[in-house]
Amino acid sequence: MSQTKPVYASFRSIGAYVPEKILSNADLEKMVDTTDEWIVKRTGIKERHLAAEDEYTSDMGAKAAQLAIERSGISKEEIDLVLCATVTPDYFNMPSTACIISDKIGIRNVQAFDISAACSGFVYLLSLAKAFIESGMKQNVLIIGAEKFSSIVDYTDRSTCILFGDGAGAALISATDKKEEGFVDIHASADGSYADFLVTPAPGSINPVSQKVLDEGLNFVQMKGNETFKLAVKTLTKDVKEILQKNNINTEDIPHFIPHQANYRIIKAVGDALKMREDQIVLTVGKYGNTSAASIPMAINDIYESGRLQTGDLMLLDTFGGGLTWASALLPFAGKSIK
């Protein structure tokens, strides 16, 4: 019987792109009936970045991807799969944003496709990359979370427009035979019975583009904020407990807890329930707002660029979003740290 050597998926590099334009709480005060005080107290968000009018999801994704490739030490030619998670693709529904990003960064004749898992998109992609690599089908998978959320936000709706921002993050996931570099575990799940908690009603097969769609603003994101909030705290906490318990890891041994950046109050409630120290929790929601599928890789990039993320450090990712979807991951940073 032939014996094949086990192969593991490893997190080689991270990159992100943050658009230049800033939308501050003071700007929002001039647009809707809100205050900086309310936004900071209820969400922790001080500002968010918005893409330029002629800057698209693929442009931001391509810039993040380029950086992740440069930092990986792996050449473009070695990449054999490109995956993009987004709910704000360049086009509904073809071509995929992954195809457009591939073209923009000069990767051709390589499998490329998008997935739609809202804020859980990046961790969902990690699970796909792991499966492709550990089955031996692919060696180097480029994964991208990119969103131009401002393209589906109604800037007259104070309950949503204060929350979201634009941006992108990307990572290079590669095959390794070193078990200590490999992902420890990933859990990903969904429950479609909560589909109406977070929804963009149009365009789609239910509501193709029509005058009614435009008149009723069905092309904008709608959210049952308070219900989503409560379920998010419960699910994120349960997810972390399960993945740590299954892998015999104590909360205090996690150097970097990187939750989806939707609302500071959600992160604080989860951190408190898990008895996390403040220095373990990565927080970027104050400056980027909620960037959906880009939120977690943008946060990883922040701790990478500040020198906080060191080679071998264990990262605990935890996310929750439209679908509803949720996912958690435990994995070491297998790239070269910056400092």
Residues that bind ligand UT7 (CB under 6 A): 34, 38-39, 42-43, 119, 158-159, 162, 225-226, 228-229, 232, 262-263, 266, 290, 320-321
CB of 220 to ligand UT7, least distance (A): 15
Termini Cα distance of the chain: 46
Residue 322 burial (C-beta neighbours within 10 Å; 0-12, 13-18, 19+):
buried
Q: Please indicate whether residue 290 is annotated as part of the active site.
A: yes
Which of 84, 260, 263, 301 is catalytic? The answer is 260
Cβ closer to ligand UT7: 43 or 200? 43
Q: Which is nearer to ligand UT7, 15 or 121 (CB)?
A: 121
Burial of 11 per CB tally in 10 Å (0-12, 13-18, 19+)? buried
Query: Would you say 183 or 326 has its CB closer to ligand UT7?
Result: 326
- Cβ neighbours, 10 Å, residue 223: 19
We find the least distance from the C-beta atom of residue 288 to ligand UT7, in angstroms, to be 12
- Cβ 308 to ligand UT7, closest distance in Å? 24
Nearest approach, Cβ of residue 321 and ligand UT7 (Å) = 4
Please enumerate in sequence order all residues whose Cβ is within 8 A of that of 101, keeping only pairs 6 or more positions apart, or say none: 58, 61, 62, 65, 82, 84, 112, 144, 146
Position with the least CB separation from ligand UT7: 225
The catalytically annotated residue of 49, 119, 140, 301 is 119
Smaller CB separation from ligand UT7, 79 or 87:
87
The phi, psi pair for 161, rounded to 5°, reads: -65, -20
In the complex, the smallest distance separating the C-beta of residue 163 from ligand UT7, rounded to whole angstroms, is: 6
Q: Which is nearer to ligand UT7, 232 or 274 (CB)?
A: 232
Angle among Cα 292, 181, 73 to the nearest 5 degrees reads 75
Per-residue tokens: 13 = 């590099």
Min dist. Cβ of residue 54 to ligand UT7 (A): 26
Residues constituting the chain: 339
Specify whether 260 is catalytic: yes
Contacts of 142 (CB under 8 A, 6+ apart): 65, 68, 69, 79, 81, 82, 83, 107, 170, 171, 172, 173
Question: What are 236's two structure tokens?
Answer: 């994120």
CB closer to ligand UT7 out of 111 and 159: 159
Structure-block tokens of residue 192: 């479609």
Residues with a catalytic annotation lie at 119, 260, 290
